[in-house]
Amino acid sequence: MITPSTERIDRIRKLPIFAREGVEHAWLINPLTRTIEVFRRTENAWILLSTHGADELVRAGPFEAIAIKLAELWGET
């Protein structure tokens, strides 16, 4: 999960490390804004596939078979 204090590190430092190590998918989860950004790595860059928030039901790569209720992540169950 990203927080305001680590968001810059997560985006600028960690994503390139993940790409270098062969990670193909990344999710940036922000509990303050209650959003999830879903990325997929291409040969040269990370592509933002989708952004989800609030109480959506999300199916996102590489776990499309699982439906995630975002409200549960935010403690709203």
Query: Model pTM?
Result: 0.87
- Bigger pLDDT: 2 vs 57: 57
pLDDT digits (tens, 9 = 90+) for 10-44: 989 999 999 999 999 999 999 889 999 999 999 88
Give the C-alpha separation, 48 to 27, whole Å.
10
Average pLDDT value for residue range 47-75: 94
pLDDT at 71 over 90: yes
Edge-to-edge strand list for the sheet holding 46-53: 25-30, 35-41, 46-53
